Amino acid sequence: MKKTILTCALCALGTMAGLHAQDHTEAAPVDSFAFTTVKALPVTPVKDQASSGTCWSFSTLAMFESELLRLGKPATDLSEMFVVHHCYSDKADNFVRLYGEANFAAGGSFYDVWYVLKHYGIVPDSLMAGLNYGEERHRHAEMDAILRGYVDAVAKKPNRRLSTAWKRGFDGVLDAYLGACPDTFTVDGKQYTPLTYMQSLGLPMDDYVSLTSFTHHPFYTQFAIEVPDNWRNAQSYNLPLDEFMQVFDNAIEQGYTIAWGADVSEKGFTRNGIAVMPETKVANLPGSDQAKWLGLSQKEMEEKIYRLEGPQPEVKVTQEARQEGYDRQETTDDHGMLIYGIARDQNGTKYYMVKNSWGTENKYKGTWYASESFVALKTMNILVHKDAIPKDIRKKLGI
């Protein structure tokens, strides 16, 4: 596969290697940001991954659901847990074949979802909601622990060689919690298998690509982002930062949503719908802004800044700063989401509108506003349709 890849396991790569796996908890203080929408693309309703590390599945399927809307198809609700079931099963095979020396966790990547849709198909969420264990919301801690313990035991080969039953037992645990993946089913009076249903959707699966921007590999080439959730070693195209950021704006302008894998462990990523990278060094602030911080200690200044009561001056992002964050593991593969629009705050600063998978209880009913600085500095990778990339950049990539 030359044209696709990663993201979620914070949960994104976990961010194709989207490599992402973030739980939804806690709330944040009310802020005084005011946003005006510049352009917002159609999306399906916000879902809640709840206490599960499955953002990579939610975010990538959210993009494919938006793609169906772009193609003029009816709104479709696809099953995240069908994807999770297949990926956990494949991950168990990989883990055991590598004698337990491989990543095995709830996180995943954008590419994982692409791979499942391409090779196994998909089913409507109504047929496989994945709540077969007495809960109304996704709570995967018990299942994750059992699955990890299971493969750890198998990988030790207590019988000195593997049995012929271990995989059936593993898949049986998945069936008990998430439900068995349907072999055949009926939608609108027509019978399908998961693969024929996927084919009926008409998604151009070979037209989606993963992009990133780091300097430890050559630009305009592909490489597998080195994060644990990219366990399938999916490839991302590598762009200089300025061209990488051009893709975001061009995609929205041309009507394409973006599966976004990012680091959300930053103080500037609140649980109430804001994602910013405020400047915390007085020397870097404009003169009028410096004045209000002079005389405060660094700790006092940061405490005031991170209350996020409204827009603040933000860091100037460079290619070098991006790379340093990755190399020092300050920028991590945390969470997968969907960028679907552009907005501006009361000062005219640009933000990307983000559909999250943490329900609708935040101030913006499930939307996050991520500043351009935050996106430029803290993005691990994105998954987009190739036509979302400006033609001159696409030519450099050979797409």
Q: Over range 382-389, report the average pLDDT.
A: 98
pLDDT attached to residue 21: 52
DSSP character string of 109-151: -HHHHHHHHHHT---BGGG-----SS-SS-B-HHHHHHHHHHH
The residues pairing with 278 across neighbouring beta strands, listed in sequence order, are 314
Per-residue confidence band for 29, with pLDDT thresholds at 50, 70 and 90: very low
Is the pLDDT score of 46 beyond 50? yes
* Token pair in block for residue 308: 């996020």
Domain 36-277+314-397 class, CATH top level: alpha beta
Per-residue confidence band for 31, with pLDDT thresholds at 50, 70 and 90: low
DSSP character string of 188-230: TTEEE-HHHHHHHHT--GGGEEEEE--SSS-TTSEEE--STT-
pLDDT in tens, 201-236: 999 999 999 999 999 999 999 999 999 999 999 999
Give the CB-side neighbour count of residue 116, counting CA atoms within 13 A.
Answer: 30
SS3 360: coil
Q: Over range 157-179, report the average pLDDT.
A: 97
pLDDT attached to residue 11: 47
pLDDT attached to residue 202: 98
SS3 320: helix
pLDDT attached to residue 384: 98
Could you tell me which residue, 313 or 55, shows the higher pLDDT? 55
Whole-angstrom distance, CA of residue 213 vs CA of residue 357:
25
Q: Is residue 8 within 8 Å of 261, Cβ to Cβ? A: yes
Is the pLDDT score of 100 beyond 50? yes
pLDDT attached to residue 398: 98
295's CB contacts (< 8 A; 6+ apart) are none
Q: Over range 368-380, report the average pLDDT.
A: 98
Torsion sign, CA atoms 326, 373, 46, 30: positive
pLDDT attached to residue 19: 55
* Percent of residues, the chain, with pLDDT higher than 70: 92
Q: Over range 120-127, report the average pLDDT.
A: 98
Q: Over range 59-76, report the average pLDDT.
A: 98
pLDDT attached to residue 279: 87
Q: Over range 4-20, report the average pLDDT.
A: 45
Whole-angstrom distance, CA of residue 82 vs CA of residue 182:
9
Is the pLDDT score of 55 beyond 70? yes
Q: Is residue 62 within 8 Å of 21, Cβ to Cβ? A: no
Tell me how far the alpha carbon of residue 277 is from its chain's centroid.
19
Q: Over range 234-261, report the average pLDDT.
A: 98
pLDDT in tens, 301-327: 778 878 888 898 899 999 999 999 999
Whole-angstrom distance, CA of residue 15 vs CA of residue 113:
12
Is the pLDDT score of 30 beyond 70? no
Q: Over range 357-362, report the average pLDDT.
A: 96
The residues pairing with 371 across neighbouring beta strands, listed in sequence order, are 351
Whole-angstrom distance, CA of residue 130 vs CA of residue 83:
10
| Average pLDDT for the chain | 92
Per-residue confidence band for 280, with pLDDT thresholds at 50, 70 and 90: confident
pLDDT attached to residue 148: 98
Whole-angstrom distance, CA of residue 384 vs CA of residue 66:
11
Q: Over range 274-294, report the average pLDDT.
A: 81
Q: Which residue has the tokens 């001056």?
A: 313
